[in-house]
A and B are shown apart, each in its own frame.
Chain A
Amino acid sequence: MTMTPPAPVGLLAELTHRCPLGCPYCSNPLALEGREGELATGEWKRVFSEAAALGVLQVHLSGGEPLSRRDLTEIVRHCASLGLYTNLITSGIGMNASLVKALAEAGLDHVQLSIQDADAASADKIAGYAGAFAKKQEVAALVTAEGFPLTVNAVIHRANAARAGAMLDLAVALGARRVEIAHVQYYGWAVANRGQLMPDRAAAAAAVAEVEQKKRELAGIIVVDHVIPDYHARLPKACMGGWGRRTLNITPTGKGLPCHAAETLKHLTFWNVRDASLSDIWYQSPGFNAYRGTAWMNETCRSCERRDIDHGGCRCQALALAGDAAATDPVCHKSPDHARLADILAAETQTEPAPYHYRRVAARGSA
């Protein structure tokens, strides 16, 4: 039985892979695209026009660092003219007062600013960029002075888990109404840095408890969206709200993906906006249809009462950890591979961490 999937609600536009920072947990693929292959301004505009017609309501302008694109303001203006809700996801590097004004005038709705830590020296070390911490303070001040609503994004890992609560306080101090605080998810560069990033069980549990406690204390002041660590959980997340159900992702070179990590599923074919309409990518492409519905599921998930809640978890994680993209996500306690997570956790957190493999353009392992 095939059912027509619902229209997509969100589109994540990875406008570029270029980025001045080198965060070791970046979810971008190890093989980063250069500027040459990026979609041109006109191609992005067509993508956003098609997205609006398809039913997309919110676009997330991301990267890499979207400010690396000279045409960002023009892209925002185009999206705004289509009635799309525009969300800029930025590291802040490259922002300045006149650009903030120009983005406001173009109709940008919301800004999401990443922070690396609450401690300046540690934050700059994680980002691999001297002065990043100070620059972000400046950018937050410019953004809030302009009247933009601000969300702060923070990623928790081994080097900053002890300051999870302090990062929430920093988000309040920066003037954010909302903070997304998430434990590292192991895709892209984070896999290459797993040993450097993974906190031990006690540190992760302490950070989770601290964030939950502060979330209650800060109610009405800041909204805390908290993503708990996968490797410590018993039930998987509904990855992306289900494969091809809510959102789609366009890479810098125009590939349409159900999620930013989906290219790790090498057996699937993903179509490119240069060759196909967004509507065909969403409704017809084999990559999007591969894990819709429940027919692809194994018996464990298909017979489970949670199958329409978590959709069997994350396909990329199933492939990475169980060797089969259609397997039950090993985060699930019903997965035969669930026990291996504990082994990975124990093995990765025993030793002193090695130096980071910073996310850099040709850099696989070349730190």
Chain B
Amino acid sequence: MTGALQATSRPRLPRGVRLKHDKVRGEWLLLAPERVIKTNGVARAVLERCTGELTLRDIIAGLVRDFEAPEARIEADVRALLMSLAEKRLLDF
């Protein structure tokens, strides 16, 4: 983690952190060192976009379109999720 998350930051899941669909439990999970984190539909949509190619601004715009939700709320949710992962060193940007 280096400083604050900017609109132009390009968040990405580092190696060793990946999404997986678990057939046995029927859910999408984020697998990380010594951790398994459950994800809901929105979190999964955010994390699938964290490839290091899209900027935070692009990610939010895409979600606003797909989920037909107010931008301010999406932005708050996305930032909260990404910062909590970055604090755990599970996201780079």
Chain A: residues with CB nearer than 8 A to chain B? 7, 9, 53-55, 57-58, 83, 85, 87, 109-110, 112, 147-149, 151, 177-178, 180, 219-223, 225
Contact = CB atoms under 8 A, between A and B. Distances in A.
Given A222-B89, A223-B89, A58 B31 contact: yes
Interface residues of B, number: 19
B36 A109 contact: no
B65 interface: no
A105 B76 CA distance: 38
B20 A148 contact: no
Contacts of B15: 109, 147-149
A222 B18 CA distance: 19
Nearest to B22: A57
B14 interface: yes
A54 B14 contact: no
Nearest to B87: A220
B25 A149 contact: no
Interface in B9-37: 14-18, 20, 22, 24-25, 29, 31, 33-34, 36
The 6 closest A-B pairs by CB, nearest first: A149-B16, A55-B24, A177-B89, A85-B31, A110-B16, A220-B1
Contacts of A180: 34
B5 interface: no
B33 A83 contact: no
Given A7-B24, A222-B89, A151 B17 contact: no
Interface string B39-75: 0000000000000000000000000000000000000
Nearest to B3: A220
B3 to A, nearest CB: 10
Most buried by A among B16, B17, B29: B16
Contact of A219 (B24, B31, B34, B87): B87
Given A178-B89, A223-B88, A151 B34 contact: yes
Contacts of B87: 219-220
Contacts of B89: 177-178, 220, 222-223
A178 B33 contact: yes
Given A109-B15, A221-B1, 12 more contacts: A9-B36, A54-B24, A57-B29, A57-B36, A58-B31, A58-B36, A83-B20, A85-B31, A109-B18, A149-B33, A222-B89, A223-B89
B36 A55 contact: no
Contacts of B36: 9, 57-58
Contacts of A221: 1
A222 B34 CA distance: 14
B16 A109 contact: yes
A112 B89 CA distance: 15
